[in-house]
Structures are given as C-alpha cells and as structure tokens.
Amino acid sequence: MTKKIIAIFLVIYLFIAISCISAKAADNALSINAKAFVLMDPISGRILLEKNSQEKMAMASTTKIMTAIVALEKGDLQSQIRVSPRAASIGGSSFYLKPGDVLTLEDMLFGLLLPSGNDAAVAIAEHIAGTEDKFVQMMNQKALELGALNTHFTNPHGLDDPEHYTTAVDLAVISRYALKNIKFREIVQTKTKEIKYGDIDKQIFNTNRLLWEFEGADGIKTGYTGKAGRCLVATAKNNGFHLLSVVLGSQNHFEDSKKLLNYGFENYKLKNIISKNNYLTTVNVENGVIKTVDLIAKDSITLPIEESENIKFKLIVPKKIKAPVFKGEEVGQVQVYIDDDLVTSTSLITAKDVPLKTYNYILNRILRFWTRWEKTD
C-alpha cells in the first residue's frame, strides 16, 4: 500500500482503536481516606486517578515546593544567606536557625525541604526578594505561569491562613514542573544530609518516610497543620515508570500515598504510542517542485496505559501549504485521546525541503526534457 493511499485512508482525522482501561475516578477498593488526591504520570501530565482534585484546600508545608522553585530559578546556590531575627523566630517545623547564622542558599534549601524548616523558608524569601511579601508575590506569579489557577500563597512556609490554598491537581502541576530541575530532584530524594556552617555541624533527616519504606521512592515533600491535615506529594520509579501522587487532608499520608503508587504500578504499563519521525500522513504543496510532502511526528509519545480502552489519534492538517517548505517545519498536529479525553499531542513536521517551482526551474525542466529527447532520437 503506497503512502498516498494510506494518506487518503487516514484523511485528516485518523482514529485507531487500541485496548486499554481508564482509571480517572477514585476506586473505592483502595480505601484512601485523604479528602483529595491525584495520581499523575509526570512525563505526560496524564491523571490516572483522582478524587476532589479541584477542591481548594490548605496545603501545609507542601508550599515549600514552590518556595524551592522560585529560589532555584532566582537565586545563586552559592550565595550567602544571613538569618534575620524574624526568620529565626518563625514557629512550627524548624531547621533550628539562629539570628546571624550564615549559610549558602544550597544548604538552606536542604534545610527547607528535608526537615521542612519554616525558618529556612523565611530566610530564603528575604534573601531572594528582600521581603517575605515580595517573595510571596513571586510565588503567586509563578503559579499563574504554570496554570495553577486555583492556588494562592500568603507565605513561603505553609502555616495556616484562610487565603493560603491549593488543589490536588494544581499541586501535582507545580510538582511536575519542579521535577524538571536537577537540583530540586537531588535534594528531595536525599534521606540525610550533613550541613556545616560556622562552628555548627548539623545532621538533618528527610521527613518523607517513603524514601525508606517504599521501593523506588524519590521525593517529594510532606506537610502537616491542624487545618490542612497530613499532606504528601510523593514520587517513585519502577522499571523506568515514574509516578507522582498528591494527598491532601489525610489521616495517614504515607499509607495513602503507598496505595496510590502501588495502584499505578500494578494497573498501568508504559506503552510507546507514537515514535519520533514516524510517517503519519502527507499534505499537498502549492507551487512546489513536488506536489506533496510527508508529515512525520516531531516527538515520541509514551503513556501509561491499562489494558482495554480506546486510544484515538486525531490528525489536524491543513488542506495545503505553500512552497517553499523547509524540513522540520511544523504544519499540523497529532492528538492522542483516551476515552474521548485529549491526553497529549505532538506536532507534525515536514520530512524534507520542497523548493518553490520558479520560472527558471520550469525552463530548466523543459531544456532537460528536450536534451533527453534529442539524445534518444
């Protein structure tokens, strides 16, 4: 079957049925007591399981994920932070800093994310933005940039405040973004760390027990306040398959997270849906030296899939494009749907150059034709 016939068969909309199962609604058999949760594939952003994921809730110290994002993007890891009296006086979970202590931003981030130091959060905020209020503005701006539209911060540490809230899905989005930072990933998977500054030699421990108790666990952040309950953003890997879970308002955040992660690893398998540079269709070229050009996938798409549910591909391609065409030019899109929900997509790009058919090109073709004709006469 030629590519042209395949293209006609696919037309612009191509739907291919593949078997897999959807798992977006909460499964009662899991017995998860958290008020809200999300299980997400952090690579594609696909949500595999959720409950009350859009409900605004207190987030406790999971706030510090955003604190770390802003600090890592705006600060110098080797810059020196002098602890203010205000930072040292903040209550709640602590890194046990004293006024006048001087640490690098890097060490302060370990103190923020491992023992969950509220004092470290304020010290970082004052260092990066000058004041805590200005730093919080930066946190809220970043939330908007990431599309976490139902999230609002009033402080960098997570102590209860009526206007300090997020949703399980927003927190998953924020955490997914944070995981793109190599230093962030390094810190949140660290179990213990020795911090030295001045005459102080301090051994700190990560509050995330999953790092010890769950095989493949590699992050991210615990949280607890009276209003928020027990919260945890957790990540784990199993045979190259990475999962991210968020639980808010839990009675046992570690057990709830284990159940979610186990559910994901037991019920989903990574499958290659589309391979990079695979031929998908053709598009007509107006005034080109050839009439059509092949369109290929710009990127590979791999998704966690269960075993019996429809995956559909939809090709969005213009009727024609104008020459000249350059190899790698984006001219369309292939969308991947699961149970009629758009999950992800990648661009369709041209497989080669197509020069413009000019007067000189036409004249040259005529001359070459007559030359061949004369030689065969």
Give the active site residues. 61, 64, 116
Residue 263 Rama label (left phi>0; alpha psi -120 to 50; beta): alpha
Backbone angles phi, psi at 90, to 5 degrees: -65, 135
Q: How far is CA 352 from the centre of its chain?
A: 31
Query: What is the full DSSP assignment across 100-164?
Result: T-EEEHHHHHHHHHSS--HHHHHHHHHHHHSSHHHHHHHHHHHHHHHT-TT-B-S-SS----TT-
Which DSSP symbol is given to 346? Answer: E
In the three-class reduction of DSSP (H, G, I as helix; E, B as strand; rest coil), residue 301 is classed as: strand
Report the length, in residues, of the chain.
377
Q: Could you tell me the two tokens for 27?
A: 């499964």
Please name the residues in contact with 346: beta carbons below 8 A apart, sequence gap of 6 or more: 274, 297, 298, 299, 300, 301, 333, 334
H-helix or E-strand containing 53? none
- CA dist 41 and 258 (Å) reads 15
In the three-class reduction of DSSP (H, G, I as helix; E, B as strand; rest coil), residue 332 is classed as: strand
- CA dist 218 and 190 (Å) reads 8
Q: Do 117 and 95 form a contact (C-beta atoms < 8 A)?
A: yes
Q: Could you tell me the two tokens for 7?
A: 């293209």
